[in-house]
Structure 1
Amino acid sequence: MVFIADPLTDDRQTLTMRDAWAAHLTDLVDADPRLAVVLADISSEMFAEAMKAHPDRVINVGIREQLLIGTAGGLALAGMRPVAHSYAPFLVERAFEQVKLDFEHQGTSGVLVSVGASYDWAEGSFTHFSPRDVALFDTLPGWRVFVPGHAAEVPPLLDRAVRADDSVYLRLSLRHNENPHAVPEDSLLVLREGARATVVVVGPLLDNVLEATADLDVTVAYTNTPRPLDTAGLRELAADTGDTIVMVEPYLEGTSAWLVAEAYEDRPHRLLSIGVGREELRRYGTAAEHERLHGLDAEGLRARVRRFLA
């Protein structure tokens, strides 16, 4: 747990998280012969030059997501550090059996990088939504999950993922905060202090939470590395707010509730979980509209937190 720090930069986001990831990964592939990139058509145009320079280490398997994960797992068995990429529902849900077998069961590790998040491309409909992805990774031991809130947070997180010995899921989104924040490794960054509750917010929902709680007497702590969750820091913070906790996550509501319960098995606490609802919204619309309908905009968040505190 670390208290208020300066942002990484003062600039508004000008590139998307995917832009920042692809540019930085290209540089890393040039510098590290151990790295391999496996694609399934998605974002392949962003690696055209890298494919020419490293045809044996930048591979496009086509629209075959199970093969994508299988190839990455095989490269890991051969001693490479694979980075596999596609839309979240294709990378995680469609190919989850391969993630389970070709990484977890085989005892290998790699980096999986998704785009699309919970409903970024709302026009693409339910086939392109993946609010359940982090919950699925929670069924496998040892996976780290990184959820940046701004494009400038992506390169340092990617560096950590590539250097790690264990497996990492990097969840990119078009939703973002106005400014990036330098979050110390595996810690909560405290941006505001209060007395009535501790609000922990993950990734791109930070600005909405700060606006929603602007006049509420609550502590706000930010993380872009929700796995492992800084439960020791949470316990320390929440002790000053009556062990009253609000978890705000940009994926399925309640995903982190089990971690909070595990951290608090020795003392009572109150928890409000806020995230993407379980009800399917059978409309296209825009990502902003889905955010509002799930109550994840500032107005919706404020209403739920106020009811909880009342």
Structure 2
Amino acid sequence: MFRSHPLDSEIQDRTMREAFGAHAGALVARDPRVAVVLADISTDLFTEAAAAHPDRVVNVGIREQLLVGAAGGLALAGLRPIAHTYAPFLVERAFEQVKLDFEHQGTSGVLVSVGASYDWAEGSYTHFSPRDVALFDTLPGWRVLVPGHADEVPALLDRAVDGPEGAYLRLSLRHNASAHAGADGDLRVLREGSRAAVIAVGPLLDNTLAATEGLDVTVAYTNTPRPLDTEGLRDLASRTGNTVVLVEPYLEGTSAAVASAALADRPHRLLSVGVGRAELRRYGTADDHEHLHGLDAEGIAARLKAFL
């Protein structure tokens, strides 16, 4: 059975979280605007930065609403805050603070999560967050960055910190075998075909490539689903019979509205493949959840072949 996402370091020397910690610490050291707010998660990655800059590396404890509220206050004071913890606590639990302390106040910051949809499946449903990107779609202007490899993280974090808009960086233990894109947000074509344009987001690229082996389809990759490269999507669709498949590591259908709007001036077919909406009352491992949601290579291939 194809497995592209080991949860250890057999393929990848460092995790996305480790890449984030190292680069965020360096940003704090060289940019006096940058502040990091933590909630007892990943504090070991910021030991040196906190010792050198205690005024700009703050741990509020396990108080996620305060985490986002404090980051919003730092943004009002003219800093560029980076707030970090597990995805369900950063986005779902503290969404009111994201809405009010950033959006309503007219400020912006960088929110960096770990855990993704079901990385720590053994931790149970409290640590699952497949709805996070869908929630950000309810707010105007937020950039969403979903790296597929640790080597993509530094450039994406730079883009998030340097930009004026709010940014959500979604880190995961699931990853591709190698990095495939920088931070420009353009769709990168990795395989050419004529029957469909298959867009893989972040860590699902390797599974998508395996699923489409031998099929006459184009496969493209992005680690920047928001804003989605709609011009690139339109171009790929025009070359593949306006048939599009979106393979995303979060809630199925999250990007369907964006893709449909981009193709609204032409007849098109669209298939969304992602985390299912039904709650799986099984914990197991992340590999188990990937299989049960049909996001391993076999599951993606089955959906794609039926669609075509």
* Same-fold status (TM-score > 0.5): yes
Report Cα offsets for 1:131-158 as digits up to 9, x if no partner.
0000000000000000000000001111
Q: Distance in 2 between matches of 1:34 and 1:184?
A: 21
Question: What stretches of structure 1 move > 2 A for 4+ residues in a row?
Answer: none
**Which residue does 2:236 correspond to in 1?**
237
Letter in 2 for 1:95: A
How far did 1:190 drift? 0.3
Q: Distance in 1 between matches of 2:182 and 2:53?
A: 33
TM-score computed with the length of structure 1 as normaliser: 0.95
Report Cα offsets for 1:149-192 as digits up to 9, x if no partner.
00000011111111111110000000000010134612100000
Q: Secondary structure at the match of 1:241?
A: coil
How far did 1:198 drift? 0.3
The question of 1:190 aligning with 2:183 is answered: no
Contact preservation (8 Å) 2:156, 2:182? no
Letter in 2 for 1:236: D
Letter in 2 for 1:235: R
The question of 1:178 aligning with 2:170 is answered: no
Aligned length: 299
**Which residue does 1:100 correspond to in 2?**
99
**Which residue does 1:81 correspond to in 2?**
80
Letter in 2 for 1:16: T
**Which residue does 1:145 correspond to in 2?**
144
The question of 1:47 aligning with 2:42 is answered: no
Q: Distance in 2 between matches of 1:50 and 1:184?
A: 25
Q: Distance in 1 between matches of 2:17 and 2:183?
A: 22
Q: Secondary structure at the match of 2:239?
A: helix
Q: Distance in 2 between matches of 1:116 and 1:184?
A: 22
Counterparts of 1:250-265 in structure 2, within 5 Å, are: 250-265=249-264
TM-score computed with the length of structure 2 as normaliser: 0.96
Letter in 1 for 2:246: M
**Which residue does 2:128 correspond to in 1?**
129
Q: Distance in 2 between matches of 1:118 and 1:166?
A: 24
Report Cα offsets for 1:61-116 as digits up to 9, x if no partner.
00000000000000000000000000000000000000000000000000000000
**Which residue does 1:163 correspond to in 2?**
162
Q: Secondary structure at the match of 1:98?
A: helix
Report Cα offsets for 1:205-253 as digits up to 9, x if no partner.
0000000001100000000011000111101111111100000000000
Letter in 2 for 1:179: S
Q: Distance in 2 between matches of 1:289 and 1:52?
A: 40
**Which residue does 1:284 correspond to in 2?**
283
**Which residue does 2:6 correspond to in 1?**
none
Contact preservation (8 Å) 2:201, 2:223? yes
How far did 1:12 drift? 4.3
Q: Distance in 2 between matches of 1:206 and 1:191?
A: 10
Q: Secondary structure at the match of 1:83?
A: strand
CA RMSD for the aligned pairs? 0.9
Q: Which range is displaced more, 137-146 or 44-53?
A: 44-53
Letter in 2 for 1:170: L
Relative to structure 1, the CA distance from residue 279 to residue 259 in structure 2 (aligned partners, 3 Å threshold; closer, same or farther) is same
Q: Distance in 2 between matches of 1:91 and 1:184?
A: 23
Please list every run of 5 or more consecutive structure 1 residues that lacks an aligned counterpart in the other structure.
1-10
How far did 1:265 drift? 1.6
**Which residue does 2:4 correspond to in 1?**
none
Identity of aligned residues (%): 75
Letter in 1 for 2:306: R
